[in-house]
Amino acid sequence: MENLILEQSFKTPEISFQAISGELLLKGRVFPENPEEFFSPVIHWLQQYIQNPAPETRLELCLSYFNSTSSEYIFRICKMVQGLTRSGNVARIIWQYEIEDEDMKQIGEDYADILKINFELKAVN
C-alpha cells in the first residue's frame, strides 16, 4: 500500500499517512473550499489501511484551526482509528494544541471522552 502525502496549503493541512509504520499525521489549518472533495481520498486511504494495518497506529493531530464541516471529517478519521482497537490492533491518538488555545484543548478533551481510546493531549508552544 502506498503512503498518502498531501502538502499543506493555506486552507488545507499537511497529511502524511505512512502505511508501513502506522504513523498518521494531520498538521495545520483545515477549512477547504470543498471538504468532501478534500477528505474523500483521505477516508478512502484509511478504509484500505484498516484492511491491513501496521502493528501499531498513531494518529497525530496538530491542528491550529478547523471549521465545523471539517470537524465531521476529522472526527470520522478518529473513529476509524478507534475502530482498529476493536479488532485487536494497537492504536492511539495524540492531540497537539497550542498551550494558550483553550478551544482546541477543549475539543481534544471532548474527543478523548467520546472515543475511549488511548488519547494523549499535548500542549505545545
pLDDT one-digit tens code per residue, 37-73: 999 999 999 999 999 999 999 999 999 999 999 999 9
CA distance 64 to 58: 19
CA distance 111 to 26: 16
Q: At 113, list the grid cell.
A: 471522552
When pLDDT is averaged across residues 94-111 and rounded to a whole number, the result is 96
pLDDT at 87: 85
**Terminal CA-to-CA distance of the chain, rounded, Å?**
35
pLDDT at 4: 98
CA distance 25 to 10: 17
When pLDDT is averaged across residues 19-31 and rounded to a whole number, the result is 98
Domains of the chain, first to last: 4-124 (3.30.750)
Q: In the predicted model, is pLDDT for residue 32 greater than 90? A: yes
Q: In the predicted model, is pLDDT for residue 116 greater than 90? A: no
Contacts by 50-54 with C-beta closer than 8 Å and gap 24+?
50/80, 50/83, 50/84, 52/1, 53/22, 53/84, 53/89, 54/19, 54/20, 54/21, 54/22
